[in-house]
Amino acid sequence: MYIIELLSEMVYKLRSEIMDKTIENFLRYVKIDTQSSEESTTIPSTMKQHDLARQLVSELEAMGAAEITYDKEHCYVYATIPASAGCEKAPVLGFISHMDTSPAVTDTNVNPRIVENYDGKDIVLNAAENIVMKVEDFPELLHYMGQDLIVTDGTTLLGADDKAGVAEIMDMAASFLLNPERPHGEIRIAFTPDEEIGRGTDAFDVARFGADFAYTVDGGALGEIEYENFNAASTVVTVQGSSIHPGSAKGRMLNACLVLMEFQGMLPAFQNPAFTEGYEGFYHLDSLRGDVEQAVAEYLVRDHDRAAFERKKEFMQECAALLNRKYGEGTIKVEITDSYYNMKEKILPHMHLVEHARRAMEAVGVRPEIIPVRGGTDGARLSFMGLPCPNLCAGGHNFHGKYEYVPVRSLEKISAILQEIVSGYARYGLEPPPGE
């Protein structure tokens, strides 16, 4: 009995040391500026993303990972944790997170701090600038009373999207490398650039990655499992008007801005992000610019249902056709480009991915919640590239802004979930037991 207790104590101590290192790593990762840029046409969109890539390569080398590949041109990092003895035939599992942060709010000089034993009150992020994260605005904070929270100083985003995922995957890798006797199949990991601007898989090498199945670790709150996402398209609406001095404009002027307003007024008012949730799609007016002579609007079109998605695009063209009949052919042009599709159709033949994730969460004491992604994910594009890849929680909240935070316990639990998924595939193959 004494020996068992001693071993348990040693395992616990080792685990605590790993998790302390994980939190330390996360706090260091978020201080590295990796913001991507929509204006850039290069891969990666910003060279500073290489700073984190090089850091991760160094850490992977130090922990003894195998087959470390650093794509120095495109800023992708790949590595392998070899299978344990006897598990060489288990499915090769991949885990993927992105290194970049959103362009929405700066991540230069991120200054994270830990709010210990959160008391359920408003959190003062920056007293000098009176920046306060209020429970009234973010009531989910109350779910984390008594826990430690990592927050910003109110002047930057945090970068938990997706450096939390990076830290969790690195912890999982370290755990198996430090304990190679634990049964596990081959594990492939990858860290990618430019996910936040929709280009995270543009140069991803699926063949080089070599996984049978994979998970992106890029979701929200602890417990989320996502295998459905929006079908998505970008739309540019251009109106050509006719400018003339307003004093002599009668019967001659065609105000492009007014025609564009008319087009917007034809779209369903309540199919707008401000009025939709769950599986409800929308038209989102993302930008608007122009004058009398020419006006341009950019829209995001989204819907989980493929037929409804196609209908939305058709309706925009029908609105344009009507206005062209009214004002003359060529007055308005609608250009639609599909961005990505709902990965559900690619995941349904491989639902063991969802069931293994569900079982793993329950095994470590986390209640799984399967929800649709109201957005996109690298996993969607990878699924259509031949790598079935649902999305798992990374643990953070309020992404892309100064109120972003992540509970420390969520970092710990998600690492445990990833490890349990790997162990589950080694034990059960593609058929996890129901309701375990």
Do the strands 391-393 and 231-240 form a parallel or antiparallel pair, or are they unpaired? unpaired
Q: What pLDDT is attached to residue 15?
A: 46
Q: What pLDDT is attached to residue 281?
A: 97
Residue of 107, 168, 194, 195 marked catalytic: 195
Of 305, 339, 373, the residue that ends a domain is 339
Confidence of residue 4 (pLDDT cuts 50, 70, 90): very low
Residue of 100, 196, 224, 303 marked catalytic: 100
pLDDT tens by residue, 316-333: 999 999 999 999 999 999
What is the pLDDT averaged over residues 113-138? 97
Do the strands 187-192 and 93-98 form a parallel or antiparallel pair, or are they unpaired? parallel
Are residues 36 and 116 located together in one domain of the fold? Answer: yes
- Side-chain-side CA neighbours of residue 88 (13 Å): 2
Q: Is the per-residue pLDDT at 7 higher than 70?
A: no
20 is catalytic: no
Confidence of residue 183 (pLDDT cuts 50, 70, 90): very high
Are residues 331 and 352 located together in one domain of the fold? Answer: no
Classify residue 434: in a domain, yes or no: no
Classify residue 269: in a domain, yes or no: yes
Of 313, 339, 365, the residue that ends a domain is 339
Judge whether 193 and 45 are in contact, CB under 8 Å. Answer: yes
Is residue 162 reached through a cis peptide bond, with omega within 30 degrees of 0 on the bond before it?
A: yes
Classify residue 74: in a domain, yes or no: yes
Task: Find the DSSP H helices in 342-407.
Answer: 344-347, 352-363, 378-384
Are residues 212 and 252 located together in one domain of the fold? Answer: no
Are residues 260 and 356 located together in one domain of the fold? Answer: no
100 is catalytic: yes
Q: Which residue has the tokens 């609105």?
A: 319
CA–chain centroid gap for 325, Å, is 42
> How would you classify residue 262: left for phi > 0, otherwise alpha for psi between -120 and 50, otherwise beta?
alpha
**Percentage, residues of the chain above pLDDT 90:** 91
Confidence of residue 283 (pLDDT cuts 50, 70, 90): very high
Of 339, 366, 399, the residue that ends a domain is 339
Are residues 376 and 292 located together in one domain of the fold? Answer: no
Q: CA 424, CA 383: separation in Å to the nearest integer?
A: 22
Classify residue 140: in a domain, yes or no: yes
Q: CA 56, CA 410: separation in Å to the nearest integer?
A: 21
Confidence of residue 410 (pLDDT cuts 50, 70, 90): very high
Classify residue 433: in a domain, yes or no: no
Are residues 36 and 86 located together in one domain of the fold? Answer: yes
Q: CA 253, CA 282: separation in Å to the nearest integer?
A: 33
- Tell me, yes or no, if the pTM score tops 0.75: yes
Classify residue 107: in a domain, yes or no: yes
Average confidence score pLDDT of the chain = 94
Are residues 330 and 347 located together in one domain of the fold? Answer: no
Q: Is the per-residue pLDDT at 5 higher than 50?
A: no
Q: Is the per-residue pLDDT at 241 higher than 70?
A: yes
Confidence of residue 176 (pLDDT cuts 50, 70, 90): very high
Q: Is the per-residue pLDDT at 184 higher than 60?
A: yes
Q: Is the per-residue pLDDT at 148 higher than 90?
A: yes
User: Which pairs count as long-range contacts for 307-310, CB under 8 Å and 24+ apart, including other chains?
Assistant: 308/281, 309/231, 309/233, 309/281
Q: What is the CATH number of the domain that holds 333?
A: 3.30.70.360
Are residues 42 and 153 located together in one domain of the fold? Answer: yes
Are residues 19 and 75 located together in one domain of the fold? Answer: yes
Count, residues in the chain: 436
Task: Find the DSSP H helices in 374-428.
Answer: 378-384, 408-428
Q: Is the per-residue pLDDT at 8 higher than 80?
A: no
Number of domains in the chain: 2
Q: Is the per-residue pLDDT at 306 higher than 50?
A: yes
Judge whether 157 and 102 are in contact, CB under 8 Å. Answer: yes
pLDDT tens by residue, 229-240: 999 999 999 999
Classify residue 435: in a domain, yes or no: no
What is the pLDDT averaged over residues 395-408? 97
Sequential DSSP letters for 20-47: HHHHHHHHHHTTS--B--TT--SSSSST
Q: Is the per-residue pLDDT at 198 higher than 90?
A: no
Q: Is the per-residue pLDDT at 145 higher than 60?
A: yes
Determine the structural domain holding residue 324 and report its residue range: 234-339
Q: What is the CATH number of the domain that holds 403?
A: 3.40.630.10
Q: What pLDDT is attached to residue 22?
A: 80
Are residues 256 and 132 located together in one domain of the fold? Answer: no
Q: What pLDDT is attached to residue 376?
A: 81
Q: Is the per-residue pLDDT at 309 higher than 60?
A: yes
Are residues 361 and 220 located together in one domain of the fold? Answer: yes
Please name which of 143, 172, 173 lies closest in space to residue 406, comparing C-alpha atoms: 143
pLDDT tens by residue, 16-66: 554 577 899 999 999 999 999 989 999 999 999 999 999 999 999 999 999
Q: CA 167, CA 176: separation in Å to the nearest integer?
A: 15
Q: What pLDDT is attached to residue 19?
A: 53
Are residues 184 and 256 located together in one domain of the fold? Answer: no
Classify residue 22: in a domain, yes or no: yes
Q: Which residue has the tokens 């979701």?
A: 219
